[in-house]
Structure 1
Amino acid sequence: MSGQYDVLIVGAGIAGSALAHALSTITSQSRASPLRVALLERSLAEPDRIVGELLQPAGVAALQKLGLESCLEGIDAIPEHGYCVVQSGQIVHIPYPDGRQGRSFHHGRFVMALREHAKRAPGVDVVEATVNELIECQHTKRVLGVRATRPNSTGRESFLADLVIIADGCFSNFRNAVLGKALRDSSTRSHFCGVILKDTQLPMPQHGTVGLVQGHGPVLLYQISEHDTRMLVAVKHPVPHDLKGHILRDVVPQLPASLHVAIHEALDRDRIRRMPNSFLPAVEQGGKYTKQGAILLGDAWNMRHPLTGGGMTVALHDVVILSKLLANVDFRNWDQMSNLLSNWYWSRKPLASTINILSFALYDLFGADGEHLAVLQKGCFKYFECGGECVRGPVSLLAGISPSPSLLAYHFFAVAFYSIWVMFFHPRPVVNESDSDKPLMVSPQLWEYPGLAVRGVKVLWTAFVVFGPPLWSEIRWW
């Protein structure tokens, strides 16, 4: 028996480490002494992941609220000022509004910085141990703690607490046990395949680069240290058997020529690492279907497509809200805790829903798997070229600055209608009989309008099909 704690946190990743530090600062009239917190992690070695390397401006703001902004110092983090989208040699600039900045970095270095802050926090014990099972009361089934095994030990230790927080990531071992009947299965539609490019100049320095690849998923590139640039290639499920050949043959030729040599060298030097892109809508916790005494946090509870780089922003925002709510509640009183969890769920909803819906809507648009999605993709690119609010609005949603599902719906369907307008009135390439290598740009003729009108209806319907399912997965719990 390793003693009694107020809170046990399983998983010392982004959310778990940040919450341990935040709980150490809690003071209230109802508590005579600081909280005792145990942060349990299977391995305290530096993690090595290919996602979780871009923090949006709203995530930086959440770090500042938690007093953890110094975690971005000393890890060779790169300021990010926005995005540039590349398609067929054309580039559109999408800056963050009002001088806001994000940060990109090696995921493991950022996690280690968060863990160091947790270790120094008063009342926090950081323990390297593998959590094997939850300890439950035989009669009430309330979670009382966990059993865990330390390295080089065969015996299991019991850690008890008034509240157990599960933050063990996307491959959570305890998600099913905590949520029970309320659980909805996660779905995986694609993978990110990643390598690191060395000493590479991006089209716009200190901007994330989104390469739109015709017929395939998008490509993300962003600098994560002075010499390293992450490249992530979205590959639809199932992953091709010859993944390297697919990237070299189908993807690289559509990216800027200045990147080709670095990509070839990276593919020859490193193995291609893969990460499933999963979607897990959040459900309200604390009800009759979830176990008393335990709650889920981070990717163990809610996942979205990593295309928008919004996962860490949502997790840190969740920690900001949850840590404040936990300041004046009795963890042993589950009626109070249920009310707290309901307040937390609804307080986080605007930001989390906006980023969740946006991540999958953008993936479908940028992947453009079909002729009608291709029309929407072209319209989206042209919409960004309009500048002004056509850029400021969408990037504010992406950055987490404007957490508003209604604003997201407005811009998404503005893109849809603009895509139809582009289809009617913008020149399109046609075969040049005199020079097949240089297609002619010709505007649609009047006699083509009836067919285009029918196609426009199909494009609009496709927009509803793309936007509807992730929207429904969020609003069904409103």
Structure 2
Amino acid sequence: MGSTQYDIVIVGAGIAGSALAHALSTIRPSSAPPLKIALLERSLAEPDRIVGELLQPGGVHALRALGLEWTLEDIGAIPVHGYCVVREGQAVRIPYPGANEGRSFHHGRFVMQLRRAALAARGVEVVEATVNDLVECEATGHVIGARATRKGAGHSENFLADIIFAADGSTSKFRKALGKNLSSPSVKSHFVGAVLEGTGLLPISQHGTVVLVPGSGPVLMYQIEENDTRILIDIKSPLPRDLQTYIKEKVVPFLPSTCQIPVLNAMQKQRLRSMPNAFLPAVMQGQPSLDGKSGLILLGDAWNMRHPLTGGGMTVALSDVVELTRLLTPVLSIIPTPDTPSPLADWSRLVLILHEWHWSRKPLAAMVNILSVALYDLFGGDDHNLRVLQQGCFKYFELGGDCVTGPVSLLSGLAPRPLLLMYHFFRVAFYSIWVLFTHPRPSPAFPHSDSDIKKNVRMITPSVGDYPALFIESICVFWTACVVFGPLLWSEIRWW
């Protein structure tokens, strides 16, 4: 079994791994010896996934900071200027502030561009190999490398380094190495995806579209090429046995009319693909109390996941790379000599950097994580209180002005301010209560459900006599908002 020594080994050449390899290679000036970096990837063929195709403006800014904005070129990427939310046939436009815009594209093409950047980076060796295990120091258990088998080889070899980054995705085999008794990803639903053919399918061109479907999860649509539109249908676990029938009966009737026939056509031509929508809060890495492996750092979905409804995953991953590179620059800029060890070998120093990284990334990462799950709970809510909050949220957007600019600045990763998120979330909660008291609702003779509203049943405006019951109902609605927001906030402010 052969061994090769590097400064850094990165496992996984996806979004986070490829961007990190490029970013770390630029730290040392051209006059100094480059960092020797190994980027290991099981398959260098173009990936084929149904998510990771919508990059928010905050992610575009992160790419620009890394000098990688060119990776969005020549892949058929579509500019995205904001969102459109559709409820009961009504649409509200939520534009990005100013001249900011995102991009949507085929995931695999974007990944291949990032890999090209890594291949061209100074000191980076991209290796197509399957990582089988970590290599640990027998005396201390410190991770000193990765054991991998190159494609076509009949034997494994050791890729040794002072520090190992694991960016091997949502099904990471190294997550448990962070420590004992850590939470596993929680899965509430799955996205079922297909590609719709044709143009002009969306209610508002070049806007991500979220359709709120009564009795089911939300539907997300966006263009990924001129004639291709991605549709992601959220279906709560467990998945029904007959997906096509479920979608035809429960989802298609609530989609914009321009999309209904293309969806039916896509189901006949394509195999419906699904992926779990997982939530995994980030833990502070390098803490002795967790009894985790030293020498290993997790990145991307291997470490932190959120619901993909808001398209914030790549923005968080790329921003993490920007912040981590900034913090590692003083260490990696030091050129080791025969008389001085590599600065990366000082794990105690890296632990301090990991601690700072954990909290410095929080304003953006926590905000995106909380918003993604909170919006999903509201948009996919199937009990009465959540439907009240959903209606209040939609009507809040209809107010325009700051009621749109504030939330979309958060969603797009342009305003990393968790307190602003809290402000707008509870404004929505209180506005939902206001809507309860002031807006028409179905007559008590009919069940209070979205399907009945769609049938145009008789609507009545609450009278003073209804106020006592509405007051009790408003307390329940506000409590539900707290139950949605509170645990998510706690998952972000704790470190374990």
Asked if Structure 1 and Structure 2 have the same fold, meaning a TM-score greater than 0.5 normalized by the shorter chain, the answer is yes
Secondary structure of 1:181's counterpart equals coil
Deviates more, 1:353-362 or 1:323-332: 323-332
Match of 1:241? 241
Secondary structure of 2:6's counterpart equals strand
Match of 1:423? 436
Q: Does residue 1:111 correspond to 2:111, yes or no?
A: yes
Amino acid across the alignment from 2:192 = C
Q: 1:382 aligns with which of 391, 395, 402?
A: 395
Contact 2:63 2:69 in 1 (8 A): yes
Q: Deviations over 1:335-366 (max 9, x none)?
A: 11001111111110110000000011000000
Q: Does residue 1:22 correspond to 2:23, yes or no?
A: yes
Secondary structure of 1:172's counterpart equals coil
| Sequence identity percentage | 62
Deviation, structure 1 residue 475: 1.5
Deviation, structure 1 residue 83: 0.3
Match of 1:187? 186
Q: 2:347 aligns with which of 325, 331, 334?
A: 334
Contact 1:182 1:283 in 2 (8 A): no
Contact 2:39 2:124 in 1 (8 A): yes
Match of 1:135? 135
Match of 2:360? 347
State the distance in 2 between where 1:249 and 1:328 align. 58
Structure 1: runs of 5+ lacking an equivalent: none
Matches within 5 A, 1:15-164: 15-27=16-28, 32-164=32-164
Contact 2:3 2:159 in 1 (8 A): yes
Amino acid across the alignment from 2:93 = H
Amino acid across the alignment from 1:399 = S
Deviation, structure 1 residue 476: 2.1
TM-score for both structures, normalised by structure 1: 0.97
Secondary structure of 1:134's counterpart equals strand
Contact 1:432 1:438 in 2 (8 A): no
State the distance in 2 between where 1:197 and 1:183 align. 40
State the distance in 2 between where 1:437 and 1:173 align. 50
Deviation, structure 1 residue 438: 4.0
Secondary structure of 2:345's counterpart equals coil
State the distance in 2 between where 1:290 and 1:15 align. 22
Matches within 5 A, 1:143-222: 143-177=143-177, 179-181=178-180, 183-201=182-200, 202-222=202-222
Match of 2:336? none
Match of 1:6? 7
Deviates more, 1:206-215 or 1:148-157: 148-157
Deviation, structure 1 residue 183: 2.6
State the distance in 2 between where 1:62 and 1:68 align. 9
Deviation, structure 1 residue 406: 1.1
Q: 1:357 aligns with which of 370, 379, 382?
A: 370
Amino acid across the alignment from 1:294 = L
Deviation, structure 1 residue 206: 0.2
Deviation, structure 1 residue 319: 0.3
Deviation, structure 1 residue 287: 1.5
Contact 2:283 2:495 in 1 (8 A): yes
Amino acid across the alignment from 1:11 = G
Deviation, structure 1 residue 317: 0.2
Amino acid across the alignment from 1:361 = A
Matches within 5 A, 1:277-356: 277-288=277-288, 289-329=291-331, 330-356=343-369
Q: Does residue 1:369 correspond to 2:369, yes or no?
A: no
Match of 1:276? 276
**Cα root mean square deviation, aligned:** 1.6
Match of 2:494? 476
TM-score for both structures, normalised by structure 2: 0.93
State the distance in 2 between where 1:474 and 1:406 align. 13
State the distance in 1 between where 2:185 and 2:155 align. 33
State the distance in 2 between where 1:401 and 1:32 align. 36
Amino acid across the alignment from 2:33 = S
Amino acid across the alignment from 2:166 = I
Contact 1:200 1:259 in 2 (8 A): no
Structure 2: runs of 5+ lacking an equivalent: 332-342, 447-453
Q: Does residue 1:402 correspond to 2:418, yes or no?
A: no
Q: Does residue 1:461 correspond to 2:479, yes or no?
A: yes
Contact 1:104 1:224 in 2 (8 A): yes
Alignment length (residue pairs) = 474
Q: Deviations over 1:169-212 (max 9, x none)?
A: 000011112x0226321111111110100014210000000000
Q: Deviations over 1:293-320 (max 9, x none)?
A: 1100000000111011000000000000
Which runs of at least 4 in structure 1 moved beyond 4 Å after TM superposition? none
Amino acid across the alignment from 1:180 = G
Deviation, structure 1 residue 32: 4.4
State the distance in 2 between where 1:300 and 1:344 align. 16
Secondary structure of 1:99's counterpart equals coil
Q: Deviations over 1:29-78 (max 9, x none)?
A: 9x941101000000000000011000000000000000000000000000
State the distance in 2 between where 1:282 and 1:431 align. 46
Secondary structure of 1:3's counterpart equals strand
Q: Deviations over 1:69-95 (max 9, x none)?
A: 000000000000000000111010000
Deviates more, 1:379-388 or 1:253-262: 253-262
Deviation, structure 1 residue 428: 2.1
Contact 2:374 2:484 in 1 (8 A): yes
Contact 2:8 2:37 in 1 (8 A): yes
Deviation, structure 1 residue 97: 0.4
Deviation, structure 1 residue 432: 9.8
Q: Does residue 1:258 correspond to 2:258, yes or no?
A: yes
Deviation, structure 1 residue 150: 1.1
State the distance in 2 between where 1:32 and 1:45 align. 33
Amino acid across the alignment from 1:320 = V
Contact 2:12 2:168 in 1 (8 A): yes
Contact 1:200 1:262 in 2 (8 A): no
Contact 1:431 1:440 in 2 (8 A): no
Amino acid across the alignment from 1:467 = F
State the distance in 2 between where 1:437 and 1:384 align. 24
